[in-house]
A and B are shown apart, each in its own frame.
Chain A
Amino acid sequence: DAGVIQSPRHEVTEMGQEVTLRCKPISGHDYLFWYRQTMMRGLELLIYFNNNVPIDDSGMPEDRFSAKMPNASFSTLKIQPSEPRDSAVYFCASSSSSYEQYFGPGTRLTVT
């Protein structure tokens, strides 16, 4: 298996632009997580899905952030409009009922 796949790996954009991050979970995993990592706050859970349904989005910072999972093999995290304080590394992870989470390589987002 290729593991969790994220794209793009790096994104540089200007303030106010829309940013879309993509994730393909491991086949057969029914949980998908989006995390954000910054120097100040470490790793934080933004939202997670079970069987494509959002279960907990309490970590989503504000309305500028949205996440979707249209099918079992694809999820997006969108920021619109982006702001410099959104600069971070965004990780996607997937899991099955074994609870161990497998992380993707991350997307490093820089908003100027």
Chain B
Amino acid sequence: KNEVEQSPQNLTAQEGEFITINCSYSVGISALHWLQQHPGGGIVSLFMLSSGKKKHGRLIATINIQEKHSSLHITASHPRDSAVYICAAWKGSNYKLTFGKGTLLTVNP
């Protein structure tokens, strides 16, 4: 079993829908990262959070340390949100990140 599990693996939505991507981890962490990878490959860091909630535009990330679970929400989804979303756990003892396999999101117009 991977230390970081994401669900769903694939997600198709219609423009305007509310999107939720989930990430569960089995180890103690200091922080969790959410990354976005567009077709063509570039990886962008969206959030790094260790507690509570963070919001940036239409993106919201939450984390529950006790339950070892994080969610990434996209409100009013748009086709340009189509990408792979990856969560990564940072244990804090070093700078190593452990990655989930990613969620492929496709938003249709």
* Residues of A that sit less than 8 Å from B by CB: 31, 33, 42-45, 48, 50, 55-56, 89, 91, 93, 95, 99-103, 105-106, 108
Contacts and interface: CB of A to CB of B under 8 A. Distances in A.
A105 B45 CA distance: 13
Interface string B54-84: 0000000000000000000000000000000
Taking chain B's interface residues, is the majority helix, strand, or loop, or is none over half, making it mixed?
Answer: strand
B42 A101 contact: no
Given A42-B101, A42-B102, A100-B48, A91 B43 contact: yes
Number of contact residues on B: which range applies?
20 to 34
B44 interface: yes
Contact of A48 (B31, B45, B95, B101): B95
Taking chain A's interface residues, is the majority helix, strand, or loop, or is none over half, making it mixed?
Answer: strand
6 contacts: A43-B99, A44-B99, A100-B33, A100-B48, A103-B43, A106-B41
B96 to A, nearest CB: 6
Interface in B7-47: 31, 33, 35, 41-45
B101 A103 contact: no
A107 B44 CA distance: 16
Given A95-B95, A99-B90, A42 B41 contact: no
Contacts of B44: 103
